[in-house]
Amino acid sequence: MRDWIRLATKRSIVVRGVICSSIVGTILIAINQGDVIWNGNLEIRHAAKIGLTYMVPYIVSTVSSVGALRNVSQ
From the list 10, 56, 12, the residue with the least C-alpha distance to 32 is 56
pLDDT of residue 8: 95
Annotate 10-22 with b (16+ C-beta within 10 A) or e (fewer). Answer: eeebeebbbebbe
pLDDT of residue 1: 87
pLDDT of residue 72: 85
* Rounded Cα–Cα distance for residues 20 and 60 (Å): 9
- The per-residue pLDDT for range 6-64, each reduced to its tens digit, is 999 999 999 999 999 999 999 999 999 989 989 988 889 888 999 999 999 999 999 99
- DSSP conformation letters of 21-66: HHHHHHHHHHHHHHHHHHTT---HHHHHHHHHHHHHHHHHHHHHHH
